Amino acid sequence: VISFVGAGPGAADLITLRGAERLRAADVVVWASSLVPIALLDHCHEGVEVHDSAVMTLEDVLAVYDAHDDGASIVRLHSGDPSVYGAIQEQIDWCVTRERSFEIVPGVTSVAAAAAALQRELTIPTLSQSVVLTRLGGKTSASMRPGEGVAAFAPAGVTMAVFLSGARPDELQAELLTGYEPSTPAAVLSRVSWPDESIVRTTVGELPDAIRSTGATRTVLVLVGDALADVPVPARSHLYAPSHTTTFRLRSTPGSTEGRASRVTDRA
Ligand SMILES: C[S@@+](CC[C@H](N)C(=O)[O-])C[C@H]1O[C@@H](n2cnc3c(N)ncnc32)[C@H](O)[C@@H]1O
């Protein structure tokens, strides 16, 4: 079986239990040294066959899969969650064509790790209820549909997570300014959860200098949007308001405890 495993953002304990288990059981691991810290390989047993995909083409990786039959436990370790800029679809297609068994083990994406590091919720009522994951086009612009990308989404004013774009700070700022005010909060997060993590809080107006100040061009995530403003929330969530009912909680009236008591779940 080939397991496409999300390694998480970097810290070895931010992989899922299932992901760590797959690494423990792996006969072969293909991992991206450029994006996943070597500490993740501590989950593997001694003697595991390891290949570094940073120096491999897709064909090289597929040749590794091909060299083993379905009985082998092969882990392809992808940074963050494999579904986000993971280039797994072409590998899935190969597995389907070759009738090879495969599974996908999700991981903690760098967006989640970045929000945690900033101690912010990305969806705050009245500020932003949407998160756009995107990137600058650049070398891969041919793979981006016209009308898609940073400049296209900026006017919506939602929370935006920009991947793979740290090397082009001025271009990124120019695209963001097509929609966001220069005063809109932004954050530059480099190697979140790695030992040398760096976090710079800034604004769209100051973004290029903030990115340059980190000295990082790779493994940089830029978050943008009013949800990042370091102020109390303007409107609390309806979900936990006493006036709001849900399938699980009745409306509570002033002075009454009905419907308000928290339930202790009996697991026995
Ligand atoms: C090939 S993409 C993979 C994204 C990954 N699948 C995810 O879910 O985070 C690599 C880009 O993800 C972002 N990234 C991944 N890990 C990161 C981390 N620990 N800190 C900051 N950005 C990260 C950066 O934008 C980097 O250029």
pLDDT in tens, 69-95: 999 999 999 999 999 999 999 999 999
pLDDT band at 144 (very low <50, low <70, confident <90, very high): confident
Q: Please report which confidence band the pLDDT of residue 147 belongs to, taking 50, 70 and 90 as the band edges.
A: confident
Q: What separation in Å is there between the alpha carbon of 221 and the centre of ligand 1?
A: 7
Ligand 1 binding residues, C-beta < 6 A: 9-10, 35, 78-81, 84-86, 109-110, 163-164, 189-194, 218-221
- Cα separation, 71 vs 41, whole angstroms: 21
CA nearest neighbour of 151 among 130, 164, 137, 166: 137
Instruction: Decide: 219 and 189 in contact? Cβ < 8 Å.
Output: no
Give 268 Cα–ligand 1 centroid separation in angstroms. 41
Q: Which among 219, 222, 223, 224 is the best mutation to test ligand 1's pocket, defined by most ligand atoms within 8 Å of the CB?
A: 219
Of the candidates 30, 45, 54, 80, the residue with the CA atom closest to the CA atom of residue 194 = 80
Q: Which of 33, 36, 79, 220 to mutate to test the pocket of ligand 1 (most atoms within 8 A of CB)?
A: 79
Mean predicted confidence (pLDDT) in 140-164: 89
Angle at the Cα of 90 (from 88 to 96), degrees rounded to 5? 100
pLDDT band at 14 (very low <50, low <70, confident <90, very high): very high
The closest of 122, 108, 197, 187 to 158, measured between CA atoms, is 122
pLDDT of residue 179: 97
- Cβ-proximal residues to 189 (8 Å cutoff; 6+ apart), any chain: 110, 114, 117, 118, 197, 198, 199, 200, 220, 221, 222, 223
Q: Beta strand pairing status for 28-31 and 74-78?
A: parallel
Q: What is the pTM of this model?
A: 0.89
